[in-house]
């Protein structure tokens, strides 16, 4: 590394199997002296390549297809052993047209399974349930399992409980319950918390704490990989409004339309469809303003509305962001299901990522929304324990050093998943796409 302060994390540590399986083509993984050989994972069967460009060009934009009315009903799962409390909660919520108790879980041990299957918008848990796990213990276990859905705890005056996001408690209702008390809290937490209205759709944001780590490369290849599922519509958004790199990667001409041309404060699907760039690969791309000074004309509110329209119309939305914490990035976080941070084995990158995560936490975002992937993972090893010690968790996926030439400065960069679809790097992106699709819960700040 050219910067003497950017020291790589311990290169002598044993490389995990995921790194070795995804080592560059022709590379033989080498374990440290005296270490047992690390098994290499078998190749993953990749889905078929997307249709030819001519077919893709004829496909209408999802934004131009009339959308079915969205079901805005707030779906509640109640965890309650006592029938009388179940009846009381339903009595209060049944008359509310946009709130519905979709299931009462009477056996707390089945809660996680039912929540993962139903994917409710709000969970209510009686703090007084008994058994192997009490109510508050159940809340803790749901959070530990990655459930980011707002959780309301029911209790009685003799057993006071306080709302505490650090403990996974989004809100508290003390019995006896008031007529509008339950529906008001359910609506407030749903408005500020993880939205589950777009079942089957995925919005993913890619971020980094430093430039030059391959963030845009990851966003581009991830979007292309997700588009390989037959019938899947994918939109790629360049949220680096001043110095975005997506235009160069896809070879879009200077005259290609951008989000700067969208009407301020009144964006609709028709206007948005008119500025999307149809890439020959089949994905639709929303480009940032062409001129640097135009970036300030895109407001966080308009950016958020744009992402919401794309999320409703496309099966998958991937958002690339600037390597800076600003209102546009935060607006993006409020509109997506999962955020993927890109790191490298560089110690300064890992350290700055920790600082960025601390800022996210201070803003009220939950840990469950975030994952990190390591780019440029080397076959001779990465000190995973050191990364976990710095971040509090380890990388969810590893991407090998591609080792490809940059090519002409003015030409598009061939994405590895199209140029080398059977390569270890493409295998790694396919595994990353599977991880993103499995982690489709949203986690945003809860208003006071």
Model confidence pLDDT, tens digit, residues 104-135: 999 998 999 999 888 888 999 999 988 777 89
Per-residue confidence (pLDDT) for residue 434, from 0 to 100: 83
What integer is the mean pLDDT of 207-226? 93
**Proportion of the chain in helix, strand, coil states, percent, rounded to 5:** 35, 15, 50
Average pLDDT over residues 286-300: 90
Distance (Å) of CA 258 to CA 174, 235, 414:
51, 14, 22
May I ask the CATH class of domain 74-192?
alpha beta
- Residue 249's Cβ-count burial label (10 Å; 0-12, 13-18, 19+) is buried
SS3 236: strand
Nearby residues of 395 by Cβ (< 8 Å), 6 or more positions away: 343, 372, 373, 374, 384, 387
Per-residue model confidence (pLDDT) at position 58:
57
pLDDT band, very low/low/confident/very high, at 228 (cuts 50, 70, 90): confident
233, 223 in Cβ contact below 8 A?
no
* pLDDT at residue 13 is higher than 70: no
The confidence band for 204, taking pLDDT boundaries of 50, 70 and 90, is: very high
Q: Which tokens go with 420?
A: 């080398």
Helices and strands in the chain, H and E counts = 15, 13
**Identical fold at 74-192 and 200-438?**
yes
Give exposure, 147-177, as e/b (b: 16+ Cβ within 10 Å).
bbbbbbbbbeeeeebebebeebbbbbbbeeb
End-to-end CA distance of the chain: 46
Separation of alpha carbons 338 and 204, rounded Å: 5
Share of the chain above pLDDT 70, in %: 77
Mean predicted lDDT score pLDDT of the chain: 78
Q: In which band, very low, low, confident or very high, does the pLDDT at 97 lie, cut at 50, 70 and 90?
A: confident
Which of 88-102, 247-261, 325-339, 366-380 is predicted with the least confidence, judged by mean pLDDT? 366-380
**Adjacency order of strands within the sheet including 171-174:** 99-105, 74-79, 122-126, 151-155, 171-174
pLDDT on residue 348: 92
Q: Closest Cα to residue 234, out of 271, 195, 204, 197?
A: 204
Helix axis angle, 215-226 to 424-438, nearest 10°: 80
CATH architecture classification, 200-438: 3-Layer(aba) Sandwich (3.40)
Q: pTM value?
A: 0.61
Q: Where are the domains of the chain?
A: 74-192, 200-438
The two three-digit tokens of residue 313, written as one number: 């119309």
Report residue 312 as tokens.
Answer: 């409703």
What pLDDT does residue 117 have?
Answer: 85
pLDDT-based confidence at 193, cuts 50/70/90? low
Quickly state the pLDDT bin for 86 (edges 50, 70, 90).
very high
pLDDT in tens, 46-81: 555 555 444 445 567 787 766 555 567 889 999 999
């Amino acid at each position: 590394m050219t910067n003497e302060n950017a020291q790589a994390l311990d290169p002598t540590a044993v490389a995990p199997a995921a790194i070795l399986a995804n080592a560059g083509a022709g590379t033989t993984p080498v374990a440290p002296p005296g270490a047992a050989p690390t098994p290499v994972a078998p190749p993953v069967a990749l889905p078929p390549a997307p249709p030819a460009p001519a077919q893709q060009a004829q496909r209408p934009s999802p934004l131009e297809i009339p959308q079915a009315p969205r079901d805005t009903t707030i779906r509640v799962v109640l965890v309650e052993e006592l029938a009388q409390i179940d009846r009381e909660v339903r009595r209060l919520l049944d008359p509310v047209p946009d709130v519905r108790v979709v299931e009462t879980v009477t056996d707390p041990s089945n809660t996680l399974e039912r929540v993962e299957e139903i994917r409710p918008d709000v969970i209510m848990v009686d703090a007084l349930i008994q058994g192997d796990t009490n109510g508050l213990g159940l809340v803790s276990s749901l959070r530990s399992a990655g459930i980011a859905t707002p959780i309301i705890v029911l209790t009685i005056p003799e057993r006071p409980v306080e709302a505490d996001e650090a403990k996974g408690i989004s809100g508290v209702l003390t019995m006896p319950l008031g007529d509008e008390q339950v529906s008001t809290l359910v609506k407030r937490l749903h408005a500020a918390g993880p939205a589950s209205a777009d079942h089957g759709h995925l919005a993913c944001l890619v971020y980094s704490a430093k430039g030059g780590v391959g963030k845009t490369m990851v966003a581009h290849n991830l979007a292309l990989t997700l588009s390989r599922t037959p019938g899947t519509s994918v939109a790629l958004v360049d949220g680096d409004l001043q110095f975005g790199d997506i235009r160069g990667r896809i070879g879009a001409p200077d005259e290609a339309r951008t989000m700067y041309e969208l009407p301020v404060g009144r964006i609709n699907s028709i206007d948005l469809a008119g500025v999307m760039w149809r890439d020959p690969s089949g994905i639709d791309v929303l480009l940032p303003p062409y001129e640097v000074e135009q970036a300030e004309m895109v407001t966080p509110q308009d950016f958020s509305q744009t992402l919401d329209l794309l999320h409703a119309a496309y099966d998958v939305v991937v958002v690339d962001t600037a390597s800076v914490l600003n209102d546009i990035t935060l607006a993006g976080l409020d509109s997506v299901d999962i955020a993927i941070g890109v790191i490298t084995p560089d110690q300064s990158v890992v350290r700055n990522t920790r600082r960025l995560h601390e800022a996210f936490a201070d803003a009220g975002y939950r840990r469950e929304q975030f994952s990190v992937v390591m780019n440029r993972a080397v076959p001779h090893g990465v000190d995973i324990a050191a990364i976990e010690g710095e971040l509090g968790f380890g990388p969810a996926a590893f991407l090998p050093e591609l080792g490809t030439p940059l090519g002409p400065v003015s030409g598009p960069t061939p994405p590895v998943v199209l140029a080398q679809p059977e390569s270890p790097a493409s295998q790694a992106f396919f595994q990353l796409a599977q991880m993103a699709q499995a982690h489709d819960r949203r986690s945003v700040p809860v208003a006071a």
